[in-house]
Structure 1
Amino acid sequence: MALQRLTAKNLTVFTKADLTFGKGLNVIVGENGAGKTHLLKLAYSVIATFWEEGRKPSPTTPTKTHLQVKLADKLVNVFRPEALGRLTRRKPGRERCDVSLKFTDSKHNISFSFATNSKTEVALEVTPSSWLEVSAAYFPTRELLTIFPNFVSVYEGHYLEFEETWRDTCLMLGEPLQRGPREKRIQELLAPIEDAMGGKIELDKVGRFYLSTPNGRLEMPLVAEGLRKLGMLARLVATGSLLDKGFLFWDEPEANLNPMLIKQVAKSILSLSSSGIQVFLATHSLFLLREIEILTSQQPFDGLSARFFGLHKDADGSVSVSQGDSIDEIGDITSLDEELAQSDRFIEA
């Protein structure tokens, strides 16, 4: 199961966005304010709604009336606008946002829209005939292991100004460890991550995470933030949430990581992609992009499918999308050009 295509008209900064995804790794590149996170959150909101509704006890077949409300709720809780209509592109007068997602199995396809005055529901034009049976995980730029204890219960019992992606991911972090025939594959994926962290992630009975090393256990707040981000990835692999199938959305995985850890993150991401996880990254890190290009040309990742998407700010304030199978095909990205220019200045100096 994979997301093949996403189209959005009049969504936030986009007049029109039309993205064709690969089954493996998909990398969205752009400077700050170009809408990278918005595209990730849009795709995640739809997929997470399908998965959450499908795993409820005795789920019924998707209906237009039910989905129109549930999807609107998820969009508002993930994006956190004042109202659903605030996600439409800012223009004088009333505007309408149109969204369509197509999957490898057409029974999951969906199209919907909402206007600037929409509040509690979307208008469904194409209704899926089946729920998704695979999970979706969203990693925000901040690690979540340190806030995990009691976060879900507090979030669900109070109104907090946190994106629902935090709550969703914390729920997955608290899942029990996977046992059975898939343990060998889990250990294969975990080994290089645990080697980079210098230990294993453990969850105690009261909901606190630790990094267990040969020298003892470290409370998660005492662990470097970059290692905590690797710890989130390790935990979801260990629980089976990221194994063989499903979706991973990761916003700026390079944030707060040193180059050595970025190299490990890139390798882990490609390992997940090659195992059947469809991965979506948002980044403006030249180092991460170069590492991905280097690794995809080497064993054991040679031939792994990857798609790149460049977001470009236009003169009218909107953002356009270019795409291709290599970084060279997505046009110039200002933030990447600045990094290259600095290297030139350093050599000259």
Structure 2
Amino acid sequence: MIKKLKITNFTVFPEAALTFGRNLNVIVGENGAGKTHILKLIYSILATSWEEGRKASAGPTKAGLQRALADKLVNVFRPEALGRLARRRQGRERCDVEASFDNRDLNIGFSFATQSKSEVSLDKVPTSWSNTAAVYLPTRELMTIYPNFVSIYESRYLEFEETWRDTCVLLGEPLQKGPREARVRELLSPLEEAMGGSIELDRNGRFYLRTSSGRMEMPLVAEGLRKLGMLARLVATGALLDKGYLIWDEPEANLNPRLIKRIARTMLELSMHGAQVIIATHSLFLLREIEILLADRAFRRADVRFFGLQSAPEGGISVQQGKAVDEIGDIASLDEELEQSDRFMDAET
């Protein structure tokens, strides 16, 4: 579990220190406030440790990890040069990042300057690799592009961020069997009920939605259901069971309110089963649904944090955090939704 993230001069953030909850973490802000930047930074750190650990027979080395982390940051963010991720002001600036974990052996600190092309300086080297995968779900669904995407991505230069490739790899993993299968079924059944069927992957690498009336190829399925299908598939493979990380950018995108309610409950259920969930949103409906669920007896013990990203008077973005939405300050996009509700009620009366 990631416990803290401290950043200085990273993209739009002059300085920020985020303390995460064990279960669910919700980052709220307007467009351009840096929500996705935080998600991608966390993912880059987690994925580098997981991927390098699967390749290596020994623990992390400073030289090897510096190269791997720099490559991951560039491939995930897709800047022209790594230094473009440092906050831009007059003169040279240095970006510093520190991440601390429940397992202190994973703690890491690194930095890079605005002139850096593709190298980071490792200030704190972890002493072991992560044995837990991180799942990154972008705003776009990936099931329709899945056939042959990974092989093409690895053999051609494509201007797609590497999170797409990584998630497609996890979508293609075999289904979970054995002692954990019952727990998978417990989480999977409500998702399949919401979709009206189950997700199937055929030998040709195409996903289908299997319903009572037959199979439907994924491009013919509504996009909101395809997003739900991604989550269902990752639950079915065990990628999000007992441990791991779910990092999701705008889960509410292209979903109707009924499906948003299902997503909110599933994210909390996954977090209570051991996955640490970190999402970014500017949906008042989703936030309200999460708060409603937290009053439910099943989720009252959930360790949840909310983070509000707001423009700072001195420039850049500041972060307010708390255990409830009303502790993270005013978010303009949320205020607009509330103000519209008031205008609608006035118009009705």
TM-score (norm 2): 0.99
- Aligned partner of 2:199 in structure 1 is 201
Q: Which amino acid aligns with 2:270?
A: L
- Aligned partner of 1:138 in structure 2 is 136
- Aligned partner of 2:82 in structure 1 is 84
Q: Which amino acid aligns with 1:23?
A: R
Contact 1:11 1:87 in 2 (8 A): yes
Structure 1 unmatched runs, 5+: none
TM-fit CA distance, 1:17:
1.1
CA distance in 2, matches of 1:191, 1:299: 21
SS at match of 1:55: helix
SS at match of 1:166: helix
TM-fit CA distance, 1:314:
1.9
CA distance in 2, matches of 1:226, 1:265: 11
Which of 321, 324, 327 is equivalent to 1:323? Answer: 321
Q: What is the identity percentage for the equivalent residue pairs of Structure 1 and Structure 2?
A: 68
SS at match of 1:161: coil
Contact 1:309 1:330 in 2 (8 A): yes
Q: Which amino acid aligns with 1:6?
A: L
Deviation string 1:274-330 (CA, Å, 9 cap, x unpaired) is 100000000000000000000011132222111000000123430000000000100
Which of 295, 298, 305 is equivalent to 2:296? Answer: 298
Q: Which amino acid aligns with 2:310?
A: H
- Aligned partner of 2:31 in structure 1 is 32
CA distance in 1, matches of 2:130, 2:302: 25
TM-fit CA distance, 1:67:
0.5
- Aligned partner of 1:68 in structure 2 is 66
SS at match of 2:288: helix
CA distance in 2, matches of 1:208, 1:152: 13
Which of 100, 121, 138 is equivalent to 2:98? Answer: 100
SS at match of 1:300: helix
Contact 1:297 1:303 in 2 (8 A): no
- Aligned partner of 1:49 in structure 2 is 48
- Aligned partner of 1:247 in structure 2 is 245
CA distance in 2, matches of 1:222, 1:54: 39
Deviation string 1:224-256 (CA, Å, 9 cap, x unpaired) is 000001100000110010100000100000000
Alpha carbon RMSD of aligned pairs, Å? 0.7
- Aligned partner of 2:179 in structure 1 is 181
Alignment of 1:211-230 (within 5 A): 211-230=209-228
CA distance in 1, matches of 2:336, 2:315: 21
SS at match of 1:143: coil
Deviation string 1:166-212 (CA, Å, 9 cap, x unpaired) is 00000000000111000000000001000000000000000000000
Structure 2 unmatched runs, 5+: none
How many residues matched? 347
SS at match of 2:122: strand
TM-fit CA distance, 1:161:
0.6
Q: Which amino acid aligns with 2:23?
A: G
SS at match of 2:298: coil
